Structure 1
């Protein structure tokens, strides 16, 4: 008998993605709701969580650790991509959607926020968004 890999619940992954997007936008629109000491970093962590959940909706059979690693690599690639300040990509970043997706300036602390967000999302994925067989 072949073992069937468990599968993510696609609709739950999409719902988690939408929820995290809403929370991330709220964290930027209403920063007074969060402790001032956290600055913009809750939004960065939520952005990383969105990547995990969106990938989970696509890669429904990927193991959680693989999903987390892939999401973390994407987050780090986008952050290191901010070191590139060419006119063409800065024009994309000037648009609100481009800024939300690509950011604007590199920051080492952002990498910590992404790591925390991916870790939290991986725990949620493992605990609640994966079908048990």
Structure 2
């Protein structure tokens, strides 16, 4: 059994973050006879899962849905996030390509470069 401070330090988050996760329903934590939160292995593992899902880009509502026992709900949330991340990768690669060209462009002004102009016209 660990305290909220112990778990927060172990996970590298602030205690208020764990309280918030509990408040919104992403984390279930038992209480002792005095009302203090006590984190058993199950609660710590659940907090680790919430943290990992947050770090890969899921919002708290998405985390809650992804952690529901119904596999189809979790699957839908995760596959939607995968599609969004893949789309983000495409956009970031396009940005890198454009910026690399502008860094290497021999034209003094980007408006003078036909390649830059074609990049700009792409949306």
Query: TM-score, normalising length from structure 1?
Result: 0.26
Task: Report which of the two structures shows the higher radius of gyration computed on alpha carbons.
Answer: 2
Return the TM-score normalized by structure 2.
0.28
Higher relative contact order (CA 8 A, sep 6+): 1
